[in-house]
Every structure is written in C-alpha cells, then in structure tokens.
Chains A and B, each alone.
Chain A
Amino acid sequence: MSSDAMTMHPALRSKAARSRLIFLLASGLLALPAGIAAQASYTAADAPAGAPRADRRVGLSAGVDNAGEAIENLKLIAHQRQPAGFFDSATAGKHSFVNSDLAFSGNYIFQGNYYGLQVWDISNPKKPTLRTSLVCPGGQGDPSVYKNLLFLSVEQTSGRLDCGRQGVTDTVSAERFRGVRIFDISDLDHPKQVADVQTCRGSHTHTLVTDLNDDQNVYIYVSGTSVVRSGNELAGCSGKRPDEDPNTSLFRIDIIKVPLASPQDAKIVSSPRLFADSSGNIAGLWKGGTHGEGTQETEETNMCHDITVYQAVGLAAGACSGNGLLLDVKDPANPKRIAEVSDPNFAYWHSATFNNDATKVLYTDEWGGGGQARCRASDPPKWGADAIYTLANGTLTPASFYKLPAVQTDQENCVAHNGSLIPVPGRDIMVQAWYQGGVSVFDFTDPAHPVEIAYFDRGPLNAQKLEGGGYWSAYWYNGHIVGSEITRGLDLFELKPSDQLSKNEIEAAKLVKLDLFNPQAQPKLTWPASFVVARAYLDQLERNHAIPKDRVSAIGKELKKAEKQNGEKRVEALTQLAAALEQDASGSTDAARVKLLQGSVTDLANAAH
C-alpha cells in the first residue's frame, strides 16, 4: 500500500496540532521580491501539558434548524433562512432549492440558487434583510454583478427561456435555455431580463472579466461542463471528438462580450481552445502516445470548471478537469495558456485562488462533485483537498496540501469548495467552504505548512442519511465572512482575535473596502496608510519572534507617540521610526516583514504631510 493511503488522517493528528506544536520554517532561505510578504513562522507561547482536547467538530448533533454547532475564533453574527418558496422542509431528494454562489455590490449580497436568486441588504450586517427574490430555475444560478447588470449561469436541461418551473421534456426544444442570463438591476426591486446568451454546454459557472483598457464592455468566461446540446437545438453545437469534428464544443471555453450600454447585444465572441498544444491539436494537453494497443490520440477531459481571473496582474488560474491551468488574460477576449499542472491526488480540479502577491496559487479538488462524504477518517488527506503551489516566472511548483482537519461523518457531504482571501496584510489567509464540513479559515503564508486558525461547523442535516447541504461558498466581504448555506440560508461571521490572529490584524483586514466583489474576479488588495496596519505587522513580528521583545515594545511606544502627534511632529516621529527600523531589519530573521512595517510607517509619514 502506498504511504499516502497509510497516512493518518489529519483529524487524528489534529489532537497534536491542537496542542500547538511549534512550526518551524526556514524563512531566511527564500529570496523575495521587494514588498512581498515574507514567510511567517508560528510559535506557540505555551503548549498545554495534558492531552489536547478532541476537535469539537466531531460528534455534533444532527438537525436542519437546530444542529449542534462548533465554533473557533469566529462569531456568528447573523443567520437568515431563505424565503418561503425557496425551501422545502421535506428535503429528501428535493434539491431544487439549492443555495449556490455569492456576488457582492455595495451593501447587497446576491445569493444564487438553483431556483433563482436572493438579494440581501446588509446595511446592518447583524440583520440581513431580503430585498428581492427572483424565481427563475435552472441550476446552478452562479451569479455575478457589475454596475447595473446581473449575470446568472444556467446549465440544467430543465432551464427555460421564460423562467418557468416545469422543465423542458423534449430533447430538442425552442423553449430551453442553457447559458448566461443577463438582467438589468437598475431597479433592484424589478430585475429585468435583457439577454439570454445560449451556449452549447450551458454555463456551470462563469467569471466576469474586465478589460483594463476598455470601459465600454465586460467579458464573461463561460465554463460549460455538462452535456452538449444537439446542433438542432443550438446551431453549431457538437459533442464529437476533435478528430471527428474540429469545431467540437468540447475542449474550449466560451467568451461572451457584453456591451455595457446595450447588454441585449451580448454575444459569444470567441471560444478559445485552452487545451491546445503547440502544434494546434486542440485536445493537446495529454496526448496519447504511439505505443499502439490501448492508447488513444484524443483525450476526454475538455472543459474548465472555475477560472479565477486576477486582472491586476493579467493572470487567470483555471481549474480544468484533470489540470490546473495558468492563463495570460491581458487580452480578455483571447486568453492564452502559459502553464499547466496535474497531480495524481486530484480527482477534479474545481477552482483556484491566487494569493495577493500572485506568488502562490491554491487549487481545489472537488472529489465527489460536492455531493459525497469525503472528509471521513478513511478518506485520504490529500484527496478532495486544496493543493498549494508557488508561482514564479510563470512556473507553478507544488508545495503542500490543505484539507479540513476535522473528521466529518458519513452523512455529511464534505470536500474543498469555494472561498476567498481574508485581507490581513503580510499574510496569506483564506476562508473556505467545505459543504457540511463547515467553514475553515487557514493561513498558507508558508506554502509548505498551511495551518487552520478559525472554523465553524454544524452537525449533519440528517443523522441517518446523507442529505446534501452545508456551505457552498464562504467569502470575506468588507469586514465579514459571508457563508452561503445550501439548505439553511445565509450566515455572517466576524473574526475573533486569538494567538494566531491579533485584533490589529483583524482591524487591518477590515480596512479593505470593496464596492464590488465577484469572487472569481480576484481584486488586488491594498491597505490605506494606517496605524492599524503598522501594528498588524508588529504583532506578526512579535508572534514570529523575529525581533527582540524589547524592540517590539519600543516600536509600539513610538507608534503610540507618533499617533498622538499632528502635522510635522508626526512626520518627524514616523520618519525617525522608519530609519530605526532599518537596523531592526538587518538583525531580524524576518527582514522582509520588518520592511513591510517600515513601509507602512513611511506611508503614514507621507500621509501626515
């Protein structure tokens, strides 16, 4: 048996992890470009003497509305059920009403659903109120929003142009819709359908891509992963292999161009062959050999699931069937593949997230499709997990795996799913949904040693049988973690300080305020000049033992003093401090982080002029 199969599940090791072992890291060995967050090392000030307690996520009682809960370093500040009409209490087999993905605009959360959409007003995050509810079935209801436009992905063969609920029986039907719906939401109480862009495979998910050089249009990268439609239903569609039909609908994504002034004119403008090799073989990524019997020339995997675009650096990471891809998207209508990875531990490349510096990519493996229990003690710890890669000069190098550390039951579907970065300056922290595995917050600043720092979990929906549910997505938005719970509704959380995350770091994260957030269009996170940011870096240096205790104390005092000053006096104090930090940097085991602190102090000095 392979050593992988014999490895203890992390949950069994987590008892040890919970006793807060010392994580060591050779931080000085990495050469980092200026301004990029340094690797962090985490030490436990106090390891408890006795046997560490078991993870509290194990043994939670079952129930739809009253399941047991376990929470660590988070506070649940709001829980909202979906409205009547979007919920079926006899849940067995009735998954028409799955809550799916999220998009954010201003004080509104757009929560997709297989049956349509909810719009929540979070002006008061402790009391989300429902603004609008839209019935328009056709899973998965993956939403994006941009200014006055709302986009919804539809792939199910039951999807209808008229938003009807009765499905479509005929195999070829003029009533069927599979693709991307576009709504005008200028009047949020009355969303108006303005376009239905049909695609050959429907739209399982999509990514909204802006062109930095074009403010008249946006692009939608359509990921179609399900059955190809007949050419009789939608002209030009073909499910044949490339050697049988070079115009096959397989082995491509579709790109819709949406003129913002006339969204009704949205249409597919290109269908790039992302899997092609240099000789133009559109199924080129894993070419069969010439070894004769049993080998084939063409490949079966032919589509992308989620493509996360990081427009600020012109890159996208695509989770595409059997591969993780890296794409150049500086020309949004014509993305180009620049790298690809695969891993025998991955069943299904599902989604990707860059760290803020674009020096890492985290891919998720949705082994089991989201409907299966994959976090049991018997499930291998590298399967159904996150794979963390470092990224340098267009090359991806594998670093580690992260999987939810708590064992989940046979009745809980659980696997890595959607998440996003939590904008703590100087660290790479992500919040992620694990279906009925709950929400997990983890730090992957050290790509080789990701560590969990907060979590929330409920017991299974049903103790006797596996009913699909749990978190579809968990994202950070303007100070809160927002979770889309498949059957239970919407949850909002706040982070709580711990020895892994200080109050200053949390406050620094809250400084990042977005007007718009479509999670697959990853924004560049920047922090304003703020004492909170400087203190966050200082806390990190203290946690890492990267500078002596007395210096931590002294720097803290200097910051306090400078904060009390105004104008030129403040500038002077800060400039002095910045200069002093030069010394600290040269003596530190985490010089890059000292430089970050120095940079934030300089920012403050500049802002004080």
Chain B
Amino acid sequence: MSHSSLRALFAAAMPLVLALGPIRAPAQEPRYSHADVDFMQGMIGHHAQALAMAALVPARTGNQSIHLLAQRIEISQRDEIRLMQTWLKDRGQAAPDPGAAHMQHGSHDMLMPGMLAADQMDQLAAAKDTTFDRLFLQFMIQHHEGALTMVKTLFASPGAAQETDTFRYVSDVDTDQRIEIQRMRKLLTAMSPPGHS
C-alpha cells in the first residue's frame, strides 16, 4: 500500500481528538454540591405547595385563564417533582415525599421562600370567583418569586450547579417561573381593582 493511501487510511481511522484543556489524568468531572441537594429537596416541597394551590382552582372559579394557568403549573411542576426525586435518588440522597402533609401546609420550619403559611392557604381555600382569582394570582406570584430566590441562593453558593443536568434544570425553573410571573401580572392588571365594577 502506498504511503499516501496508508496515511489516508490512518487519517480516516484515527480522527484527531483535541483536548484543548490541560491534560490531567484523570480529570475530575464537576460534582454536585450540598447546595444542589438542598435546592432539590427544598424545591420538591415548594412545588408540592404550588400543586396544592392549583388543585383549589377548578372548584373555586370559572375564569378560563386561571384554569389554563393552573393546568400548566400542575403538569409542569408535577413532572419537575418527578425529575427532582430522580435526581436525588440517582445521587443516593433522600428524596422527600411531596405528599407529606406538613409540606403542603407549610409549617414554619419547612417554609421555603415564597411559600404560603397555613392561614394563607386557608384564606385561599375559602375564597371564590374574582376574590379567589385575585388571591390566587397574588399568592402564586409570591410563590414563584420564592422559587427565583431559591435559584439565586443556589447560584450564590460555591460549586453549585456545576453538573450539566443540574444547571439546565435550575435555569429552566428560573426561566419558566419568570414567564409565568409575567403572565400572572398581566392577568392581575387586567382585573379591575377590588371595589371597582
């Protein structure tokens, strides 16, 4: 076989793998941090409360926009709870059960940022129609903003969200909830203030 065809054969069989970074053997891949675990564990409870709030919607209002919003929150956050539980289990960490009652009612020591206290949940559950609509939006905005705070806290801690999966998920939560806050604000401003017709 000629030189050039040998060379071609070599070139075809051995694509050049360029590692532009410093070659350390073995390079340490980024790992998850305690803050990552805290975030996931805390957010499960946080999401669980959002689901509890969304569950109140069908019986308390006929407002279709609120229904759509609640439905999206329901689907999205239920799936995200599943994702977070998988994340924790894959890393041998405790995965909270979102059905735990104390999480849903937000007892004080379990309250993540933005979560409703028990009396706020009661207030929401007792409301109906436009009163409910307004309260739901205000409380859910508060709830979402709490999630954004949790994201901010996470990114402010060293070594956080270094793994690809974690970074992607946390960034998605931030983005999605920001957009939903905007939607909710828009709905709220479209409603006439209390006392007006």
Question: Is the CB of B94 closer than 8 A to any CB of chain A?
Answer: no
Knowing A135-B21, A225-B171, A344-B68 touch, does A189 contact B16 (C-beta < 8 A)?
yes
Residue interface bits B123-155, CB-to-A below 8 A is 1, else 0: 000000000001001100100000010011001
Closest-CB distance, B89 to chain A (whole angstroms) = 10
Chain B contacts of A168 at CB under 8 A? 162
Residue of B15, B29, B58, B191 near A130 (CB, 8 A) is: B15
Chain B contacts of A301 at CB under 8 A? 178-179, 182
Residues 119-178 of A at the B interface (beta carbon under 8 Å): 129-137, 139, 155-158, 160, 162-171
Chain A contacts of B30 at CB under 8 A? 158, 165-167
Chain B contacts of A132 at CB under 8 A? 15-16, 18
Residue of B16, B91, B134 near A294 (CB, 8 A) is: B134
Question: Is the CB of B159 closer than 8 A to any CB of chain A?
Answer: yes
Which of B48-56, B71-79, B99-107, B109-117 is the interface stretch?
B71-79
Question: Is the CB of A321 closer than 8 A to any CB of chain B?
Answer: yes
Give Cα A225–Cα B161 distance, bound, in whole angstroms: 15
Residue of B20, B67, B72, B162 near A347 (CB, 8 A) is: B72
Assess whether B171 is in contact with A295, with CB atoms less than 8 Å apart.
no
Chain A contacts of B190 at CB under 8 A? 289
Residue interface bits B146-178, CB-to-A below 8 A is 1, else 0: 001001100111111111110111011011101
Interface of B (DSSP majority class): helix
Give Cα A167–Cα B90 distance, bound, in whole angstroms: 21
Residue of B185, B191, B193 near A296 (CB, 8 A) is: B185
Assess whether A371 is in contact with B67, with CB atoms less than 8 Å apart.
no
Chain B contacts of A300 at CB under 8 A? 148, 178-179, 181-182, 185
Assess whether B179 is in contact with A5, with CB atoms less than 8 Å apart.
no
Assess whether A294 is in contact with B22, with CB atoms less than 8 Å apart.
no
Task: Return the chain A residue nearest B157 by Cβ.
Answer: A171
Question: Is the CB of A59 closer than 8 A to any CB of chain B?
Answer: no
Task: Tell me the count of chain B residues lying within 8 A, CB to CB, of chain A.
Answer: 71
Assess whether A372 is in contact with B182, with CB atoms less than 8 Å apart.
no
Chain B contacts of A163 at CB under 8 A? 19-21
Task: Return the chain B residue nearest A170 by Cβ.
Answer: B158
Which of A91-99, A471-479, A577-585 is the interface stretch?
A91-99
Assess whether A135 is in contact with B71, with CB atoms less than 8 Å apart.
no
Assess whether A193 is in contact with B83, with CB atoms less than 8 Å apart.
no
Assess whether B167 is in contact with A371, with CB atoms less than 8 Å apart.
no
Assess whether B75 is in contact with A160, with CB atoms less than 8 Å apart.
no
Residue interface bits B1-26, CB-to-A below 8 A is 1, else 0: 00000000000100111111110100
Residue of A129, A344, A371, A380 near B12 (CB, 8 A) is: A129
Knowing A135-B19, A348-B179 touch, does A371 contact B168 (C-beta < 8 A)?
yes
Residues 270-322 of A at the B interface (beta carbon under 8 Å): 286, 288-289, 291-296, 299-302, 321-322
Residue of A133, A302, A344, A379 near B16 (CB, 8 A) is: A133
Knowing A139-B167, A383-B72 touch, does A162 contact B21 (C-beta < 8 A)?
yes
Question: Is the CB of B120 closer than 8 A to any CB of chain A?
Answer: no
Closest-CB distance, B86 to chain A (whole angstroms) = 7
Give Cα A170–Cα B33 distance, bound, in whole angstroms: 12
Give Cα A185–Cα B84 distance, bound, in whole angstroms: 40
Closest-CB distance, A480 to chain B (whole angstroms) = 21
B87, B137, B164, B179 pick with most chain A CB within 10 angstroms: B164
Assess whether A347 is in contact with B188, with CB atoms less than 8 Å apart.
no
Give Cα A456–Cα B173 distance, bound, in whole angstroms: 30
Task: Return the chain A residue nearest B171 by Cβ.
Answer: A226
Question: Is the CB of B197 closer than 8 A to any CB of chain A?
Answer: no
Chain A contacts of B159 at CB under 8 A? 167, 169
Give Cα A288–Cα B58 distance, bound, in whole angstroms: 27
Question: Is the CB of A227 closer than 8 A to any CB of chain B?
Answer: yes
Chain A contacts of B189 at CB under 8 A? 288-289, 291, 295
Assess whether A368 is in contact with B64, with CB atoms less than 8 Å apart.
no
Give Cα A304–Cα B190 distance, bound, in whole angstroms: 25
Give Cα A164–Cα B160 distance, bound, in whole angstroms: 17
Chain B contacts of A294 at CB under 8 A? 134, 137-138, 141, 188
Chain A contacts of B162 at CB under 8 A? 156-158, 167-169
Give Cα A167–Cα B160 distance, bound, in whole angstroms: 10
Give Cα A30–Cα B137 distance, bound, in whole angstroms: 42
Chain B contacts of A517 at CB under 8 A? none
A134, A295, A373 pick with most chain B CB within 10 angstroms: A295
Give Cα A134–Cα B17 distance, bound, in whole angstroms: 6
Give Cα A400–Cα B82 distance, bound, in whole angstroms: 32
Give Cα A371–Cα B80 distance, bound, in whole angstroms: 10
Give Cα A345–Cα B69 distance, bound, in whole angstroms: 9
B interface with A by C-beta (< 8 Å): 12, 15-22, 24, 27-30, 58, 64-65, 67-68, 71-72, 75-76, 79-80, 82-83, 86-87, 90-91, 134, 137-138, 141, 148, 151-152, 155-165, 167-169, 171-172, 174-176, 178-179, 181-183, 185-186, 188-194
Given contacts A156-B167, A369-B168, 16 further A-B contacts (CB under 8 A): A1-B67, A5-B71, A131-B15, A157-B161, A163-B20, A164-B21, A294-B137, A295-B188, A300-B179, A322-B183, A344-B183, A347-B72, A347-B176, A367-B76, A371-B172, A373-B79
A interface with B by C-beta (< 8 Å): 1-2, 4-5, 83, 85, 92-93, 95-96, 98, 114, 129-137, 139, 155-158, 160, 162-171, 189-191, 193, 225-227, 286, 288-289, 291-296, 299-302, 321-322, 344-345, 347-348, 367-369, 371-373, 378-380, 383, 465-466, 468
Nearest first, the 10 closest Cβ-Cβ pairs linking A and B are: A167-B30, A369-B172, A289-B189, A163-B21, A164-B21, A163-B20, A130-B15, A300-B178, A167-B162, A135-B19
Residue contacts A-B, CB under 8 angstroms, 11 given: A130-B15, A134-B20, A165-B21, A171-B157, A227-B155, A289-B190, A291-B192, A294-B134, A300-B185, A344-B65, A368-B79
